[in-house]
Structure 1
Amino acid sequence: MMASSLTRFDPISRMLSADPFRNIDDFFSTMRMPSLMGAADLSPHIRMDVTESDQAYKVVADLPGIKKDDIKVNIDGNQVSIAAQTASRSDQQSATSLCSERSWGQYYRSFTLPQVVDDTQAQAQFHDGVLELTLPKKTGGSARPLAIQ
């Protein structure tokens, strides 16, 4: 069995963790100026956990505020892609926004698993803003011994 782990690499937060002045972001937010350090995290992203058993991979992804019909999952061999979209906040045109922290727009996440997924047996469930994928590993791949002549 091949052990694997998926790790999200975030060079900005790694760099900021060594910075004694990392609270400078709070200073700029009180002045209503965009922070240079916060600019790296403008696009919404999908947070997820991936676990592995002998038979399958299990993916649990947080997609709060998204409707089931607006989620697309694509499996191509060992490549898995999750895409989702939320509607824009145009319903409050006449209101003045005092604080806006909720993300909207397009979400996309793609990752590679160590083994090919049996897409015919894969299952997806969505409830309470959480997408759960069960991705069975494909058995009996196309590997065969090659005779040397």
Structure 2
Amino acid sequence: MNNDRDDHDPIDDILREIERVMNEMMGDDVHIDRSGSAGFGSDLHLDVFEADDQLRVVADLPGVEKDAIDLRCDGDVLTVAAASDRRDYEERIRLPATVDEHSASATYNNGVLEVTFDRAGDSADIDL
């Protein structure tokens, strides 16, 4: 007896539901493959540290060559894109404060990326 239900894998239903919920929460197109790992940026470990006048983002990018890292910032969102032989990373991080993107400095050592920004100054008063 071989019907269509015998070929059904309940894990597929679970993965589809996780994918639907993630897409709903993130507003992005996240794809989960049969191994359970999500697409870009799924296991990028990242921390954001705030100080009075600076913001620092630290990310683990194991196995990535320095030349394969692309960083972009518009003052509010930092985009980290990187590729290695084993996977691709692309993460958009909404920064907790507006930064001066032109003040950015970055280092990459032993798989650890560190990006530092100066906080953007207060809005300027306009005299009439």
Q: 2:73 aligns with which of 72, 75, 87?
A: 75
Tell which has more relative contact order, 1 or 2 (C-alpha 8 A, sep 6+).
1
Partner of 1:59: 57
Partner of 1:120: 102
Q: Which structure dedicates a bigger proportion of its chain to strand?
A: 2
**What secondary structure, in the 3-state scheme, does the structure 2 residue paired with 1:54 have?**
coil
- Structure 2 vs 1, CA of residues 44 and 76 (structure 1 numbering), >3 Å: closer, same or farther? closer
Residue deviations 1:107-138 (CA, integer Å, cap 9, x gap): 01111123221122111000000001111101
**What secondary structure, in the 3-state scheme, does the structure 1 residue paired with 2:59 have?**
strand
TM-score by length of 1: 0.56
Distance 2:45 2:70 in 1: 16
Amino acid in the other structure paired with 1:78: D
Residue 81 (structure 1) shift = 0.6
Residues matched between the structures, number: 97
Supply the RMSD in Å over aligned alpha carbons. Answer: 2.7
- Identity percentage over the alignment? 33
Partner of 1:101: none
Distance 1:114 1:43 in 2: 24
Unmatched runs of 5 consecutive residues or more in structure 2: 1-17, 19-32
Partner of 2:113: 131
Q: 2:91 aligns with which of 98, 109, 113?
A: 109
Unmatched runs of 5 consecutive residues or more in structure 1: 1-11, 13-34, 88-103
Residue 44 (structure 1) shift = 5.2
Distance 2:116 2:74 in 1: 15
- Does the alignment pair 1:43 with 2:43? no
TM-score by length of 2: 0.64
Residue deviations 1:71-126 (CA, integer Å, cap 9, x gap): 01101021111000113xxxxxxxxxxxxxxxx23201111123221122111000
Residue 56 (structure 1) shift = 0.9
